């Protein structure tokens, strides 16, 4: 009994210190770490670990992620389909694919003369990204995204990607597919996602 009584002050001191620790608890707001230029460049050229999310079946598209620098997957343009790897970008509303390969870039080029469903448009296309401008001309052709197909879709054939700099030459993508609304579409053309909805290909206007 004496031993238990002697330990009581120790227990009380422990409880008191615990209460003080809880009372002095500090909350620290978490902040997102944005990649530096060097970190982004490393992720673009594949020097950092690559994370692949691969889903098969249905209308799902394989999306690859380079540490928040690029999210890209494949779609097809033309008949027969010409495969293009594009960044799915929620900050823009136009689809563009390259019609010219920058020096030593190794991009997959869209050749409209090899598509039986190509329709000449010819309207000038110019878009401004944070890294710089991209330009070319509008064309119309069949575009297939996953299992969904849009006919006579207005997209851009781009022959000047110099505004994207080294990141484009070294990047894993060929073009960009904008997923935002028509309201910010360059040239007033229908955005890819809206075109899928209007065509009836999508039952609901939702992507995830």
> Residue ranges of the alpha helices (H) in 28-86?
37-44
Confidence of residue 26 (pLDDT cuts 50, 70, 90): very low
Is the model's pLDDT at 69 over the cut of 90?
no
Question: What pLDDT score was predicted for residue 190?
Answer: 96
Structure tokens at 19: 């209460």
Q: End-to-end CA distance of the chain: give it in Å, rounded.
A: 66
- Output the average pLDDT for the chain: 78
Q: Residue 18 gets which letter from DSSP?
A: H
Per-residue CA distances from 55 to 52, 58, 62, 161 (Å): 10, 9, 6, 31
In this structure, how many other beta carbons lie within 10 angstroms of the beta carbon of residue 135?
17
Question: What pLDDT score was predicted for residue 40?
Answer: 56
**What percent of the chain shows pLDDT beyond 90?**
47
> Mean pLDDT, to the nearest integer, of 78-104?
93
Look at 175 and 27; give whichever has higher pLDDT: 175
Using a cut of 0.75, tell me whether the model's pTM lies above it: no
The span from the CA of 175 to the CA of 161, in Å, is 10
In this structure, how many other beta carbons lie within 10 angstroms of the beta carbon of residue 164?
20
Paired with 65 in beta bridges are 51, 71
Structure tokens at 204: 């609901």
> Mean pLDDT, to the nearest integer, of 137-146?
96
- Phi, psi for residue 57 in degrees, rounded to 5: 90, 160
């Amino acid at each position: 009994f004496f031993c238990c009584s002697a330990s009581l002050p120790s227990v009380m001191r422990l409880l008191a210190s615990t209460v003080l620790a809880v009372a002095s608890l500090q909350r620290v707001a978490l902040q997102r770490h944005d990649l530096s230029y060097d970190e982004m460049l490393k992720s673009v050229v594949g020097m950092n670990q690559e994370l692949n999310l691969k889903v098969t079946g249905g209308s799902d598209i394989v999306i690859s992620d380079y540490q928040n620098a690029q999210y890209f997957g494949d779609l097809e343009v033309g008949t027969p389909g010409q495969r293009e790897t594009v960044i799915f970008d929620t900050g823009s509303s136009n689809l563009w694919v390259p019609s010219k390969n920058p020096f030593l870039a190794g991009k997959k080029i869209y050749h409209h003369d090899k598509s039986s469903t190509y329709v000449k448009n010819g309207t000038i296309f110019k878009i401004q990204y944070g890294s710089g401008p991209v330009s070319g001309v509008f064309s119309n052709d069949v575009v297939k995204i996953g299992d969904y197909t849009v006919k006579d879709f207005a997209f851009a054939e781009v022959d000047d990607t110099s505004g994207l700099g080294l990141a484009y030459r070294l990047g894993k993508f060929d073009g960009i597919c904008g997923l935002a609304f028509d309201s910010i579409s360059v040239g007033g053309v229908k955005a890819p996602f809206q075109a899928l909805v209007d065509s009836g290909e999508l039952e609901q206007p939702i992507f995830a």
